[in-house]
Chains A and B, each alone.
Chain A
Amino acid sequence: MSENVATDYGRMWAELGMNLPAHCALMNAIPTMYENAYLTQSDRPAGMAYFDFVMSEIHGLRIKELVDHKTAGGKVVGTFCLYVPEEIIRAHGAVGVGLCAGAEWGYNEVEKVLPRNTCALIKSFMGFKMDRVCPYVESADLLVGETTCDGKKKAYELLGEMADVYVMELPQMKRDRDREFWRAEVREFVMRLEELTGKTMTAESLTAAIAEVNGKRRALQRIAAARAADPAPISGKDALLATQVAFYDDVPRFTAMVNTIADELDARVAAGEGAAAKGAKRVVLTGSPMAIPNWKTHDIIEKAGGVVVGEEMCTGSRYYDTLVPETPGASLDEMIDEVADKYLGINCACFTPNDARCSDVVQMASDLGADGIVHYSLQFCGPYQIEAVQVERAARDVGVPFLKIDTDYSAEDVGQLSTRIEAFLEML
């Protein structure tokens, strides 16, 4: 970001109540990370220029859009997890944004409060808030948490001392009575949003929101499908970035840009052009989510000559694989049920049992012609660290090589991780 632009945004950031010196340090760090991970790649799809621009304006232009939306009377709702139904947020005329939780930031402050052995994602969102460096958090009128793990659940109580926080209770099983419970929970969320926005959701507004969000997910599905080709027409890193940005970008613009990229990928596949070499070892990643700017594992795999062809994670297929049915003539009540059911269908490790996730991973590896599966867990993320056992068994049963890594956002284990990942690629 250039000096001038940064200065123009300075007032906006100040008005959001941000900690400007700390934010400035963060803004100096991210472009370097992005350059090292992204701009060193060769043979990228031309359409990725959009995401280069988005990243250069990550705390600039998009925040200005949010501020303008607020000035016009709209609301901004921040979320941490893909179980919070964004269709419902949009149907209230509010803008939903996924919040920053992918960088080691403000840990000195966080560790005064939270235990050190808390997962990186929780420490990160608490650090961003305590240090006041995330303009998305600071522009949000309401933060919506969810009970997808015990650590987050408790951290939301502490976050609630610093911001307006609403927590949705996600069941941990998928029986009929859990579905009823979750449908009721979504309805309570509707009431909370009505209170926040002063607007009443209608069948029309929800229909439109469902169509828009489905359009976004369909566009991402097109990228995912193109990655089945060898050579892969897009790097795993670029595909991951598209999914990460899907959480906070303007929906219609994002959808149009991703569809343009998908058209380009289709043409590349037809012409046999790739972002990686033909025959490069193909890896499917599965596990904990990777929030911006967490590109570490993809970066190591792809710099070692492999290519990531799919992500079975919340910043991957779990985000875009399923759609809310668009049923003509459905009543508002029926649509709310369908929204709730779509989300309950997602297979996160917080559920028990969660066998469907194992099938999803194995199916993805088969569909994409993967040579191996890498299971990625954040340290201290019990659900994923333990469920790696079941996923490994499923991979072994179908004879797909499997590597398990536990890591965090720091760079200190990059040497060891590189060795393990390179050895895994050599083994394939």
Chain B
Amino acid sequence: MLVLGLDIGSRTVDAVWLEDGRVADHVVTDTGFDPRAVAEALLTRARFDRLVATGYGRHVARDAFGAEVVTEITAYARGAAHLFPGAGSVLDIGGQDTKVISLGEDGKVADFEMNDKCAAGTGRFLEVMARALGFGLDQMATEALTARSGVGISSMCTVFAESEVTGLVHRGEDRARIARGLHESVAGRTCTALGRVRARGPLVFAGGVANNAAMVELVRAGFDGDVLVPENAQTVGALGAALSASAANG
């Protein structure tokens, strides 16, 4: 049986085709302004027997394509536990959400926390800050790693932090140190959230921001336990969605 897992997020639409429990193909595409059309294009790319959607646009996929739906929380937990059996927790920092998930012994969700309505500390936050610093996203991470210490950033709100960064730039502060400070601020708050859900190691760090080397290094420094980054960090949710269909079927 061929199952398509679709993770329709705010920044990317990710797809995983699972054939008899093995990944047959996977794709990451930009969400753009028409997530439904992007999802529809993926549906025509290869055949499938069942479709499960997760992510911000899951309900759209249910209404438009009759997809089964599962939340990102359950999908990321399932995908992470599949890739790393014995994982204790999951961190997913995506485009506009951050999720911390504590897994039980059975690999299922035991507790979780997710940011409220604002995009504080998410991928979007880092994008806006990179622009304020005149860096590309990858470049900001590289620069952050060159700085020995970060400038303290007190705002977590994207709008306030942007003003704060602009102020620091105007004062002539080193951009690499600001970049490091921004990453430290996000990593610090992320580790606090992990503590609140009593996350055990090993921690699986997934989602788009797991591709950011500075974030991975700082989360590793702040988390009490191993931090594992999957090879395809962005498709863990789509994989989990596809797996949940297989499980329900089996």
Interface residues of A (CB under 8 A from B): 406-407, 412-413, 415-416, 418-420, 422-423, 426-427
Contact = CB atoms under 8 A, between A and B. Distances in A.
17 contacts: A406-B116, A407-B116, A413-B116, A415-B56, A416-B114, A416-B116, A416-B117, A419-B71, A419-B73, A420-B73, A423-B71, A423-B72, A423-B112, A423-B114, A426-B73, A427-B73, A427-B74
A interface SS class? helix
A423 B116 contact: no
Contacts of B115: 416
Contacts of B110: 427
Contact of A412 (B74, B108, B112, B117): B117
Contacts of B74: 423, 426-427
B112 A427 contact: yes
Nearest to A428: B109
Interface in B70-87: 70-74
Interface of B: 56, 59, 70-74, 97, 108-110, 112, 114-117
Contacts of A416: 97, 114-117
Contacts of A406: 116
A427 B75 CA distance: 11
Contacts of A415: 56
B109 A427 contact: yes
A423 B90 CA distance: 14
Contacts of A419: 56, 71-73, 97, 114
Contact of B71 (A407, A412, A426): A426
A392 to B, nearest CB: 10
Contacts of B114: 416, 419-420, 423
A423 B116 CA distance: 14
Contacts of A420: 73, 112, 114
Contacts of A427: 73-74, 108-110, 112
A423 B117 contact: no
Nearest to B244: A426
Nearest to A422: B71
Nearest to A423: B73
Contacts of B116: 406-407, 413, 416
Contacts of B109: 423, 426-427
A422 B110 CA distance: 14
Nearest to A396: B111
Contacts of B112: 420, 423, 427
B117 A413 contact: yes
A376 B109 CA distance: 21
9 nearest A-B pairs in the assembled complex, by CB-CB distance: A423-B73, A413-B117, A423-B71, A427-B109, A426-B74, A422-B71, A420-B114, A419-B71, A416-B117
A416 B116 CA distance: 7
Which of B56, B72, B73 gathers most chain A CB within 10 Å? B73
B156 to A, nearest CB: 15
A413 B115 CA distance: 10
Contacts of A423: 71-74, 109, 112, 114
B132 to A, nearest CB: 24
Nearest to A404: B113
A412 B116 CA distance: 10
A413 B97 CA distance: 12
A34 B71 CA distance: 27
B99 to A, nearest CB: 9
